[in-house]
Amino acid sequence: MSATRPTTSAQKDISMERQKAMLARHFQELSKVRETGRKVAYTFVPGNLTELISEAGMLGVYPEINALQSGMRQRSADFIHEAERLGHNEDVCTYVKCDIGMLTKGNIGPTGEKLPPPDLLLLSYTGCFTFMKWFELLRREYHCEIAMLHVPYAADGQPTEAMRQYIAKQLRNEVIPKFEKVSGKKLDLDSLAARLRRSALAEEDLSWVLESAKKKPSPIDAYFGAVYYVGPIFTAFRGGEDCIGYYRALRQEVKSRLEHGEGPVTPDGTLAKERFRLVVEGPPNWTHFRDFWKIFYEEGVVFVASTYTKVGGLYDRGFRHGAEKDPLLSLADYCLSCYTNLSLPARVDLLERYVREYAADGFIFNSIKSCKSFSAGQLVMLREVEKRTGIPGAFIESDLVDPRYYSQANIKNRVESYLQMLDQRRRA
Amino acid sequence: MGHYLGIDLGSTTTKAVLIDGAGKVQGFGLTNTRSSYEVAAAIARGEALADAQLSRIEAELSRLGQSAAELGAEVRRAYRVEVAAGRLASLRARTLELARATPKGDGAAQKLEALFAKMLADATPLFSPLAADRSRFFRDVVAARFLSEAEELAQAREISFELAMGAFDRAVVEMENTEVAAELGPTLERAMARARFSPAKAQAVAEARGAVERQPLEVSRMVGTGYGRQRLPFPKEQIRSEILCHGLGAHALFSKTRTVLDIGGQDTKAIQVDEQGVVTSFQMNDRCAAGCGRYLGYIAEEMNLGIHELGPLALTATRAVRISSTCTVFAGVELRERLSLGERRENILLGLHRAIVLRAMSLLARSGGVKDEFTFTGGVARNPAVVRELQSLIDRHYGERRLNVHSDSIYTGALGAALFAQRQGEA
């Protein structure tokens, strides 16, 4: 029996096509900056200040996204090898090595067009220490302006007022002046505030889409499907009309699937029967994305919630850009509340809530070999979620973009064993 | 009453267990895993069925008033020797065919024919150990003997060593991947003739066999598990993860089991089970097979020892050399390095065994610790040095725990699979 059936909904590709077109336009604009004179900022996804970049009339480049795209296009192994040849250790974050390798080999982006060098390196999130080291490497290469925003880690679970003010002050005194210097344009705070309110429109629709997974059967896969859904809002498009349009269309698409009682769309068609509802912690593997996904959809697994799709904003927990009148405080709240900035207990709380609110049968951790900062403590987290929910969890290991750390047979074995174990519990 | 079969297709060995409707074990089958998983599964299955039939014959003999234990064992031994002799005959045919196909092959084939004749004449002493020690396989026994005979012929310049070994290697692989399980009846007839059973004994066995065959052994359902389970010709619902099978199998062997450690050829698994044998948590090694059975296999090869000799030798050590790596790929390097530093072989071996156990301890800790009772399964559980080291580390880290090792521990996964088949059959 096949777990999937051919997709009937003609709607399925509209949002996907729309996103593709948006990306193509963006990379085309990037390839033309020498003619247009537009300035370029390189920045990371967690805590990204995309609205600020757009407001300054600049274009964003997201090295992590380039790395994951290289992984999906089977280029990362070469890039990583190149970086290792330059002396980067086997243990170094593979996103970094993939990016450095890509840069060394001509900096050709995912669309085949050459990426322009940065005019500004904007380090807007410091919770991942590797980000700092990554930008140190890029600065050595590019000798451009650099702006660093220090985001305090919310160790006690909740950001404090002092943390918010501290971030707003840095934005005002350090980051914005840098932007103005690079772009040659005075920043209009009212216009920024309006842009943030536009971001919130898309955030509203995305949250609706993610929460649709509470329905049985879920119309979406909140992991393998949702990594596409969060694409525009996590990157260069948030705050723009394109982004609003994309999420409106996506919401319509999901609404229609919901009305027809349809499950998520997989590469092999619509999932016919939802057998297991799982919550997942950690990013997917990108080099074997489809094979990795297949292990799950073949068994009728639907991911109903994931933490990875919250690394660029916890919108489903209510955060909205522009909710705060002062746009700088709004940005501060955003940076502080991204999933990457949560403490281990806060991450456990979130996972527990997901398991309960989405009526999950189980949960799984995909631990990333080369990501020390995010993988540390995951086993303890797993045990704690098990204790609180009374449901056993599963632990698998792979990597972001280093294919050497991915073993299909091993992961399949563990996942199948886990699902059979859940099944056995269900029968008992 | 229907029977249920479990097959555990491991990376090194393939195991089969046949149970009856009451869950009682009726027969075991064990063979080395080949590149054709179907053949390995068929051989193991055939062995388990034959084993079950031989047990029934044994029971029947005792009903007929024979000294069952003695005669039964005799029948079994003769049967195993006969099966191996049959395989040796097919191996001879194919090796000679391949030798003849080479330039100047006719002369070589003649020499090889004589070599095989010698081996066949020695079939009984050559293959008797197979009946006693299940960890030895036909291929290993035959290859060792053929190698030494061929070396002798080559030294006397009677044959080209490369030609002989080339033909033999190809033939043995081909044969292993195409052969079918031996038929019980005719094989038994030949076995008794070869072993020169007295007419009275042969008559008794034939009668017992007749009684047994009037009630054919019927396999109602099979479940497959193990590393190669995806490639078994079974429908999906008849395939179970080896983690669940080891959990259930260990529970069947020792009902108070709460923690299971399985060290197989290329996997180490730490499993927690509840009072029903249902798995509640597990951890296994990632893609790297460091510290698994295969590691010991390489070490044995490097030391030119049988794998079963490693543990006992390690137990004679006076101290354990500190070994940092259990990397299977570098096992040989590690070993040679220590030898070149002047370390004693058994002390190095003990260190290697301890390193394996340390790695397993980490998986156990990650799976939720070691609870009472603790059952150790898989091929490596037959190694006494691993068992001793494990016991001592568990005592130190978790306090006193009852450590169970069953003499048939290698079959635990297949037993679990058979029990799943039984449940499915009854559902």
Mean pLDDT comparison of A387-396, A418-427, B180-189, highest-scoring range: A387-396
B241·A420 Cβ contact <8 A? yes
User: Could you tell me if B191 and B81 are in contact, meaning their C-beta atoms sit under 8 angstroms apart?
Assistant: yes
Note the pLDDT tens digit of each residue in B304-316: 888 888 899 999 9
DSSP letter at B64 equals T
Residue A408's CB: how many other CB atoms inside 10 A? 15
Residue from A193, A366, A197, A349 nearest A278 by CA: A366
User: Could you tell me if B51 and B29 are in contact, meaning their C-beta atoms sit under 8 angstroms apart?
Assistant: yes
Residues paired with residue B404 on neighbouring β-strands, in sequence order: B375
Contacts of B205 (CB under 8 A, 6+ apart): B57, B61, B71, B75, B188, B192, B197
Residue B162's CB: how many other CB atoms inside 10 A? 11
B365 contacts in chain A (CB < 8 Å)? none
A428·B276 Cβ contact <8 A? yes
B279·A416 Cβ contact <8 A? no
Contacts of A376 (CB under 8 A, 6+ apart): none
Instruction: Write the residue in A410, A421, A424 that is nearest to B286 by C-beta.
Output: A410
Cα–Cα dist A407/B285, whole Å:
12
Q: How many CB pairs under 8 A join A and B?
A: 47
Cα–Cα dist B191/B214, whole Å:
21
Q: How far is A169 from chain B (nearest CA, A)?
A: 44
Cα–Cα dist B403/B406, whole Å:
10
Note the pLDDT tens digit of each residue in A251-273: 999 999 999 999 999 999 999 99
Q: Within its chain, how far is the Cα of A406 from the centroid? A: 20
Note the pLDDT tens digit of each residue in A294-349: 999 999 999 999 999 999 999 999 999 999 999 999 999 999 999 999 999 999 99
Q: Stretch B63-84: mean pLDDT, rounded?
A: 81
Predicted confidence at residue B134, as pLDDT, reads 64
A421 contacts in chain B (CB < 8 Å)? 241, 243-244, 278-280, 282
A420·B280 Cβ contact <8 A? no
Selected for mutation to probe chain A from B238, B244, B274, B283 (highest A CB count within 10 Å) is B244
Q: A190 by DSSP, 3-state: which?
A: helix
Helix A344-357 with A378-389: angle, nearest 10 deg: 40
Predicted confidence at residue A1, as pLDDT, reads 43
Q: Calculate the dihedral angle through the C-alpha atoms of A288, A290, A296, A297, rounding to the nearest 10 degrees.
A: -170
B236 contacts in chain A (CB < 8 Å)? 1
Q: A218 by DSSP, 3-state: which?
A: coil
Predicted confidence at residue A47, as pLDDT, reads 93
Q: Calculate the dihedral angle through the C-alpha atoms of A404, A407, A408, A414, rounding to the nearest 10 degrees.
A: -150
Predicted confidence at residue A7, as pLDDT, reads 54
**If you average pLDDT over every residue of chain A, what do you get?**
93
User: Could you tell me if A121 and A133 are in contact, meaning their C-beta atoms sit under 8 angstroms apart?
Assistant: no
pLDDT above 50: residue A10: no
Residue from A153, B237, A420, B107 nearest B99 by CA: B107
Q: How far is A102 from chain B (nearest CA, A)?
A: 27
pLDDT above 90 as % of chain A: 85
Predicted confidence at residue A11, as pLDDT, reads 43
Three-point CA angle B347, B349, B353, nearest 5°: 120
Q: Stretch B102-123: mean pLDDT, rounded?
A: 90
Instruction: Write the residue in A379, A395, A421 that is nearest to B244 by C-beta.
Output: A421
Strand order in the sheet with A40-43: A59-61, A40-43, A120-123, A145-148
Predicted confidence at residue B68, as pLDDT, reads 60
The answer to ipTM > 0.95 is: no
Selected for mutation to probe chain B from A421, A423, A425, A426 (highest B CB count within 10 Å) is A421
Residue from B269, B262, B272, B249 nearest B369 by CA: B272
**What's the one-letter identity of residue B83?**
V
DSSP letter at A10 equals G
Q: Stretch A127-135: mean pLDDT, rounded?
A: 89
For chain A, list the domains and their CATH numbers.
30-188 (3.40.50.11890), 191-427 (3.40.50.11900)
pLDDT above 90 as % of chain B: 47
Q: Which residues of B touch A (CB under 8 A)?
A: 227, 230, 236, 240-244, 276, 278-284, 286-287, 366, 368
Helix A94-104 with A76-85: angle, nearest 10 deg: 80
User: Could you tell me if A233 and A227 are in contact, meaning their C-beta atoms sit under 8 angstroms apart?
Assistant: no
User: Could you tell me if A221 and A212 are in contact, meaning their C-beta atoms sit under 8 angstroms apart?
Assistant: no
Q: Stretch B343-354: mean pLDDT, rounded?
A: 90
DSSP letter at A230 equals T
The three-state (H, E, C) secondary structure of B169-182, written as one string: HHHHHHHHCCCCCC
Residue A112 gets the label, from left (phi > 0), alpha (psi -120 to 50) or beta, of left
A417·B283 Cβ contact <8 A? no
Note the pLDDT tens digit of each residue in B321-335: 887 666 666 667 778
Q: How far is A380 from chain B (nearest CA, A)?
A: 9
Predicted confidence at residue B328, as pLDDT, reads 64
Note the pLDDT tens digit of each residue in B151-164: 999 998 888 899 99
B286·A425 Cβ contact <8 A? no
Q: How far is A428 from chain B (nearest CA, A)?
A: 8
A413 contacts in chain B (CB < 8 Å)? 227, 241-242, 284
pLDDT above 60: residue A2: no
Cα–Cα dist B410/B28, whole Å:
10
Sign of CA dihedral A237, A242, A245, A250: negative
Residue from A71, A136, A79, A70 nearest A102 by CA: A79
Note the pLDDT tens digit of each residue in A93-112: 999 999 999 999 999 988 88
Residue from B102, B307, B90 nearest B177 by CA: B90
**If you average pLDDT over every residue of chain B, what do you get?**
88
Cα–Cα dist A391/A148, whole Å:
42
pLDDT above 60: residue A9: no
Phi/psi for B18 (5° steps) reads -110, 130
Note the pLDDT tens digit of each residue in A334-386: 999 999 999 999 999 999 999 999 999 999 999 998 888 888 899 999 999 99
For chain B, list the domains and their CATH numbers.
34-213 (no CATH), 255-405 (3.30.420.40)
Cα–Cα dist B122/B150, whole Å:
16
Per-residue confidence at B74, pLDDT binned at 50, 70, 90? Answer: confident
B279·A417 Cβ contact <8 A? yes
> What tokens appear for B343 in the block?
């370390």
List C-alpha distances in Å: A352 to A157, A261, A344, A359, B313: 15, 27, 12, 11, 51
Note the pLDDT tens digit of each residue in A192-224: 999 999 999 999 999 999 999 999 999 999 999
B241·A424 Cβ contact <8 A? no
User: Could you tell me if B8 and B41 are in contact, meaning their C-beta atoms sit under 8 angstroms apart?
Assistant: no
Q: Stretch B28-49: mean pLDDT, rounded?
A: 88
List C-alpha distances in Å: B103 to A83, B98, B112: 52, 11, 15
Residue A375's CB: how many other CB atoms inside 10 A? 17
Note the pLDDT tens digit of each residue in B225-277: 987 877 777 788 889 999 999 999 999 999 999 999 999 888 889 999 999 99
Predicted confidence at residue B66, as pLDDT, reads 57
Cα–Cα dist A127/A151, whole Å:
7
Q: How far is B245 from chain A (nearest CA, A)?
A: 10
Predicted confidence at residue B321, as pLDDT, reads 86
> What tokens appear for B94 in the block?
């194919």
Residue A313's CB: how many other CB atoms inside 10 A? 28
Cα–Cα dist B284/B289, whole Å:
10
pLDDT above 70: residue B412: yes
Residue with more model confidence, A176 or B158: A176
Phi/psi for A397 (5° steps) reads -130, 135
- Residue of chain B minimizing CA distance to A391: B280
- Residue of chain B minimizing CA distance to A428: B278
pLDDT above 80: residue A410: yes
Cα–Cα dist A66/A371, whole Å:
17
End-to-end CA distance of chain B: 16
> What tokens appear for B363 in the block?
């998986």
- How many CA atoms within 13 Å lie on the side-chain side of A124? 32
The residue written with tokens 């220590």 in the block is: B338
Residue from B86, B18, B63, B418 nearest B212 by CA: B63
Cα–Cα dist B171/B188, whole Å:
26
- How many CA atoms within 13 Å lie on the side-chain side of B251? 21
> What tokens appear for A189 in the block?
């705070």
pLDDT above 70: residue A176: yes
Cα–Cα dist A113/B277, whole Å:
58
Residue from A277, A302, A280 nearest A220 by CA: A302
Instruction: Write the residue in A379, A417, A428 that is nearest to B282 by C-beta.
Output: A417
Q: A368 by DSSP, 3-state: which?
A: strand
